[in-house]
Amino acid sequence: MTGEEQDWLVRANQITKVFTTNGQGILALEEVDLTLRQGSFTSLIGPSGCGKSTLLRIVGSIETPSRGSLDQRQSPRIAFVFQDHALFPWLTVLDNVAFGLKMAGIATKERYRRSQLWIERVGLAGFERTFPNALSGGMRQRLSIARAFVTEPDVLLMDEPMGALDEQTRLLIQEDLIRLWEETRKTVLLVTHSIDEAILLGDRVVIMSRRPGRIKTILEVDLERPRSLHTMTDPRFVALKDTIISDLHDEVMASMDLR
């Protein structure tokens, strides 16, 4: 038995997804196989509209496949981080972080203790009583990350969590994620359009084809951890980036009928 067969947490098998719009079927995903191994960080990248987010939602069981199956080992706890933060504007920073623990029935004192620890870990100490609309975009994303991690999920699904941030803030959040993942070793699936981000954070980069989305290539990221932004100057990083750019270029051109 291989290591992947022994330590998998979620496994998508021949996943196909068809959406119906105005009475017409649109094939979004076709026969996708993807395994998330325990403690791994998988980056998912591909052309716009190729079904990356749909696949992530199927993996998280908030979307159902039209065909194929999703296997989950020991009903893993799953948390999400989305680009739009999905925060509760009427709750303070502290209560936003504590919300998932409250829903899980954790006693008030304990959920606030755990929430406070994560607020400090993501650099939001001093903002506990602040409401989300008074925070910057980067601070709101840190809040979203704290809210996901505090529930101690087995699997963390992140859908373009830094897509709306400016470049400088994005780099800072990436550094935060590198540090937090090194500390917790959660199983992560990250959907991103950024090649640099996919390589910097991931153990492997899964490249999807144009729609209907299929797994085109899976590339292992042979870069030591812990990583930092300086990792992007490593020749191996540059070579891997060139490979991904080439793969994506072909798919994007084909999707635009320019080849």
pLDDT of residue 99: 95
Q: Where are the alpha helices (DSSP H) in the chain?
A: 3-7, 52-59, 93-103, 108-121, 137-149, 167-184, 195-201, 235-255
Backbone angle region of 152, left / alpha / beta, with phi > 0 → left and psi within -120 to 50 → alpha = left
pLDDT bin (cut points 50, 70, 90) of residue 75 is confident
Percent of the chain with pLDDT over 90: 77
Q: Tokens 């932004």 correspond to what residue?
A: 229
- The CATH number of the structural domain formed by 3-76+154-255 is 3.40.50.300
In the chain, the amino acid numbered 243 is T
pLDDT of residue 255: 64
Domain coordinates in residue numbering, the chain: 3-76+154-255
Three-state SS across 170-199? HHHHHHHHHHHHHHHCCEEEEECCCHHHHH
| Exposure string over 159-186, b if 16+ CB within 10 A, otherwise e | bbbbbebeeebbbbbbebbbebbeeeeb
Rounded to whole angstroms, the Cα distance separating 89 from 143 reads 12
Residue 18 has pLDDT above 80, yes or no: yes
Phi and psi at 135, nearest 5°, equal: -100, 155
Residue 229 has pLDDT above 80, yes or no: yes
Q: What is the pLDDT of residues 159-208, one digit of tens each?
A: 998 877 888 888 988 999 999 999 999 999 999 999 999 999 999 999 99
Residue 50 has pLDDT above 60, yes or no: yes
Q: Please check whether residue 156 is in contact with residue 186, taking contact to mean a CB–CB distance below 8 angstroms.
A: yes
